[in-house]
Structure 1
């Protein structure tokens, strides 16, 4: 699976060390202005009333 972290602080290095090396979870940090790219990388869409549209999954 994938986990996108958006905004500060970037805690992805700590998260990687908390999981076994064989863990299938891939972490990636995005700046707050890169939220759309994060959703695209996840191949997902946000939920909720305040969410912005994400690209369709291809």
Structure 2
């Protein structure tokens, strides 16, 4: 899955939110998750948004 966030701070707020904590509980012990934060750009115009990719195995 790929999620887009406007800033790194927005990623941290999402990851630490009470709402997402509930999802993390459901996932615990059922999936392995790798998270990557990668700056992305679009042409035109240049866009400095960040994408967060989550790959479960």
- The normalised TM-score by structure 2 is 0.31
More strand by share: 2
Of structures 1 and 2, the larger Rg is shown by 2
Q: Which has the higher contact order (CA 8 A, sep 6+)?
A: 2
TM-score normalised to structure 1 length: 0.31
